[in-house]
Amino acid sequence: MDRHISRDKVQNIIRYVVILNGCTVPYESPFQRQAEDAYALLQNSRLTEADGAAVVFYDDDAEKDKLVALSPLPAVKLVKVRGYQPEMILKILEKLHADDPRVLYFFPGDAAGSELSVRLAWRTGGCSLTGVRRLQAADSGISAVRYVYASQMEGTFTVPYPVPDAPLVFSAARGEGEGLPVYSAFDRVLDEQDFSNFPRSCKNPEAGMFTPVSTPKTLEKARFVVAAGQGAGSKSAVSAIEKSAEIMGAALGVSRRAAMQAWAPMERLIGASGASLRADLCLAVGVSGAAAFLSGIEKCGFIAAVNTDPKAPIVSCADVTVIDDYQPVLEALLEIMMKRVSSHD
């Protein structure tokens, strides 16, 4: 059975945008490499014939023609900015999505592209995944295939399709398109917008001052952490877990699967590529216990887990495990804590 996205779905449903960074930032990937990797993802997913457009951010007029020529799609929207400003780029992308919603957003697989993909999904209420090699059709939605375990294996992650009013945001795997002949003599369809007059800052134009941002507790320094995983089920559920954690005096952390679905900011990520906890107590709810996550909690003084699966890896690693749904367990813990607080008043 051909598990690639069907031609009918490509032609009739899927509309996508490829976002490329043409700003003069010397430490980022060359524009040509970005375009090649993005095109490799499109080609591997058989999306090159779908309704797609490239959005190219740039800051140097002398480079504009070159960037257009290297863009992997005939439809190109040029957006001039004053240097590479992630916050400004995200605001512009939010506006573009509001004006012309697209189902899929693709970023290059470099550090900047992966960062922007996760942040855009968070802002638009969508789902994100980094380092994607290809997309394919699944019975219940769209599956994204990427390398896992230090590129030793392929993992498949499925998201429902379509997701109402929420895009799917991916960054491409790096190096997949090296040497791929993607540049043709397209009859280019160009659109240009100029945001270069905006100040190089994140000032709130209405208030005339910087917008205050609350900084979460640093996970590495927290003495008590509640860690939420994919078993939480949704972004709203993770928000409810965070409120419970605050009442208990704990910091919120999440597994990679929860972070990749934009249920919490990446700064909350626990594991090999996130925070390494040294908490006195870690309460893991809805976390299966992948090796990368376990490496982030192994130095905690005491590990408690709540999971419905008695065979989950977290069960054998925790000091104590409750085999149950996490919600009634959290409610019971909160009730006990509130009674103890009341008895000391």
- DSSP secondary structure letters along 42-101: HHHTT-TTSEEEEEEEES-GGGHHHHHHH-SSSEEEEEE-SS--HHHHHHHHHHHHHHS-
User: Is there a common fold for 7-204 and 219-344?
Assistant: yes
Q: Considering the entire predicted model, what is its pTM? A: 0.56
At 208 the pLDDT is 36
Of 260-264, 284-288, 334-338, the poorest mean pLDDT is in 334-338
Contact criterion met (CB below 8 Å) for 140 and 124 = no
Q: How many angstroms separate the CA atoms of 306 and 178, rounded?
A: 45
Q: How many angstroms separate the CA atoms of 39 and 45, rounded?
A: 10
**Confidence grade of residue 198 (pLDDT, cut at 50, 70, 90):** low
297: left (phi over 0), alpha (psi -120 to 50) or beta: alpha
Chain mean pLDDT for the chain: 82
Q: How many angstroms separate the CA atoms of 145 and 330, rounded?
A: 34
Task: Indicate if the pLDDT at residue 212 is higher than 70.
Answer: no
Sheet with 281-285, strands from edge to edge, namely 251-254, 224-228, 281-285, 302-307, 320-323
| CATH class of the 219-344 domain in this structure | alpha beta
Which is more confident, 237 or 111? Answer: 237
Instruction: List Cβ neighbours of 48 (8 Å cut-off, separation of 6 or more).
Output: 39, 42
209-210/203-204 β-pairing: antiparallel
Percent of residues in the chain assigned helix, strand, coil, to nearest 5: 35, 30, 40
**Confidence grade of residue 292 (pLDDT, cut at 50, 70, 90):** confident
Q: Where are the domains of the chain?
A: 7-204, 219-344
Which letter does DSSP use for residue 140 in this model? T
pLDDT tens readout for residues 47-60: 877 788 899 999 98
104-107/15-21 β-pairing: parallel
Length of the chain: 345
Q: What is the mean pLDDT of residues 160-177?
A: 79
Q: What is the mean pLDDT of residues 335-339?
A: 82
pLDDT tens readout for residues 69-122: 888 888 899 999 988 888 889 999 988 888 888 888 999 988 888 889 999 999
At 207 the pLDDT is 35
Q: Given CATH 3.40.50.620, say whether it is the number of domain 7-204.
A: yes
Q: What is the mean pLDDT of residues 224-235?
A: 94
